[in-house]
Structure formats: structure tokens, C-alpha cells
């Protein structure tokens, strides 16, 4: 992955098409490699910040094959999945038994003020930085007042571009916090993952933020 802007296609559609094509091709391998990942810390971070009484309406944004979608359902909530990869949508519906919407991240059609929480676990890094303000604003609008957005992203120094078939951004943490604030989201908590390791071995930044307007 190059520095910001080094190899970014000008057409956002090329970013979406290329990234989704890679996930579509590797859907089964991706599932086999991630289905047993323990992200309970992230699930707990979202649910612990939601003020509404359960069961909660949750959007799993970039739900993939449905691992976390099923986990929310098992916990008694009402999750809906969203993914742009056709194979993931089919897999998630079968594995979780939940409703799953097929939408790509740059062409969202989301209901207003529908969700108590949005779970964006390792997904928002695929949104080009130029498009991120709009996408975050759309996610904020889909939250109920005081609703919560959980996001986990690879952090870095603003590197942006293609890496092994997928487009991604490694946001500087301070810049990421500013993006959330500009979208009308107040930072409630943040931490780095995996837990218990030195910071240089924690590639993931997790943030919990709340809709304030």
C-alpha cells in the first residue's frame, strides 16, 4: 500500500468493483480464515454503549459471511446485515437466518433513524478517504438519536491504496477522530487490538461514537 493518493484510482466505482471482486473470488477462503475470530470485545463495546433497552436494532455494516450477525441474534437482538459481495450476502443469510441487504458502501440506501447501533468491524477502511465524510454522515443519519457507531479500522499514517486486491486506508488516529466529529459523532471510547500486546503489535483501532444531532 502506498502513501496517500499514490495509486488511488480517480473513479470510486473502480475501487468498489475491484475490492468486491476480490472478496467475491475469495469468499470461502475468507470465511474459513475468519469464522473463528473472537471479536467479543468489539461486540461488547457496541452493546455496552447503547442506551436503549434491549432488544436493539443493529446494522452489521459489511457483515461478510455473517459471523457477527449471528452473534447479535444469539444475544437476543434484531440485527440486519449489509454487504456488497453477493456471495457474502447469500452466506450470511444462510448462516445467521437474518435479513441481509446487498449494497456497496458508496451507494447506500439506508432508512433514517432506524438503528440503535451500527457495527462496522474491519469494513470502513475500504471507503476512500475522499468519500468517507459522506459515508459517515449517511451512517449517522441511519442511527436513532443517541445511537452508537462502532468502527474498527487499521490505523497508520494516512496510507491509502491497493493491497492484495483490496483498496484500503490506514487512518491516522487523530484524523479518524476528526472525521467522526465532523460527521456529528461524539467519541465515547477507543482502544487498540489485539488486546494485551504492545502498541506496535496492535494494528487495529476500535472506536465507539454516539450520534449527537
| Within a domain: 70 | yes
- If phi over 0 gives left and psi between -120 and 50 gives alpha, with beta otherwise, what is residue 36? alpha
Contacts of 212 (CB under 8 A, 6+ apart): 184, 185, 186
| Within a domain: 42 | yes
| Within a domain: 131 | yes
Residue 211 pairs in a beta bridge with: 185
Average pLDDT in the 152-158 region?
Answer: 97
- pLDDT (tens digit per residue) in 114-127: 999 999 999 999 99
Q: What is the CATH number of the domain that holds 132?
A: 3.40.50.150
171 neighbors 190 (Cβ within 8 angstroms): no
| Within a domain: 5 | no
- pLDDT (tens digit per residue) in 62-89: 999 999 999 999 999 999 999 999 999 9
Angle between helices 132-142 and 173-182 (to 10 degrees): 50
Least confident window among 9-18, 23-32, 111-120, 122-131: 9-18
DSSP string for residues in 162-181: EETTEEEEEB-HHHHHHHHH
Of the candidates 156, 207, 182, which has an alpha carbon nearest to the alpha carbon of residue 4?
Answer: 156
Q: What is the pLDDT of residue 18?
A: 97
160 neighbors 2 (Cβ within 8 angstroms): yes
Q: What is the pLDDT of residue 10?
A: 65
The total number of structural domains in the chain stands at 1
Res. 3: pLDDT tops 70: no
Angle between helices 27-34 and 86-96 (to 10 degrees): 40
Q: What is the pLDDT of residue 204?
A: 98
Res. 7: pLDDT tops 60: no
Per-chain mean pLDDT for the chain:
95
What percentage of the chain reaches a pLDDT higher than 70? 95
108 neighbors 80 (Cβ within 8 angstroms): no
Determine if the pTM surpasses 0.85: yes
For residue 86, what are the domain limits?
12-163+176-211
| Within a domain: 52 | yes
| Within a domain: 186 | yes
Q: What is the pLDDT of residue 166?
A: 96
| Within a domain: 3 | no
Q: What band does 8 get if pLDDT is binned at 50, 70 and 90?
A: very low
Average pLDDT in the 94-112 region?
Answer: 98
d(CA 71, CA 78): 11
Calculate the CA 140 to chain-centre distance: 13
Q: What is the pLDDT of residue 152?
A: 98
| Within a domain: 171 | no
DSSP strand pairing (78-83 vs 57-61): parallel
Average pLDDT in the 95-111 region?
Answer: 98
- The C-alpha cell at 72 is 447479535
Amino acid at each position: 500500500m502506498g502513501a496517500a493518493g499514490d495509486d488511488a484510482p480517480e473513479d470510486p466505482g473502480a475501487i468498489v468493483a475491484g475490492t468486491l471482486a476480490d472478496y467475491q473470488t475469495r469468499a470461502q477462503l475468507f470465511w474459513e480464515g475468519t469464522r473463528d475470530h473472537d471479536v467479543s470485545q468489539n461486540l461488547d463495546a457496541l452493546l455496552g454503549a447503547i442506551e436503549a433497552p434491549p432488544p436493539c436494532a443493529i446494522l452489521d455494516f459489511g457483515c461478510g459471511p455473517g459471523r457477527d450477525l449471528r452473534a447479535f441474534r444469539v444475544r437476543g437482538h434484531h440485527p440486519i446485515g449489509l454487504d456488497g459481495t453477493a456471495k457474502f450476502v447469500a452466506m450470511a443469510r444462510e448462516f445467521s437466518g437474518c435479513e441481509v441487504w446487498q449494497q456497496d458502501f458508496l451507494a447506500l440506501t439506508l432508512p433514517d433513524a432506524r438503528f440503535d447501533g451500527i457495527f462496522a468491524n474491519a469494513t470502513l477502511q475500504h471507503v476512500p478517504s475522499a468519500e468517507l465524510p459522506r459515508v459517515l454522515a449517511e451512517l449517522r443519519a441511519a442511527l436513532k438519536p443517541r445511537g452508537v457507531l462502532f468502527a474498527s479500522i487499521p490505523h497508520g499514517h494516512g496510507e491509502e491504496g491497493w493491497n492484495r486486491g483490496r483498496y484500503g486506508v490506514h487512518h491516522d488516529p487523530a484524523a479518524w477522530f476528526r472525521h467522526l466529529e465532523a460527521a456529528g459523532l461524539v467519541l465515547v471510547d477507543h482502544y487498540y487490538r489485539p488486546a494485551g500486546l504492545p502498541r506496535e503489535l496492535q494494528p487495529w483501532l476500535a472506536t465507539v461514537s454516539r450520534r449527537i444531532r
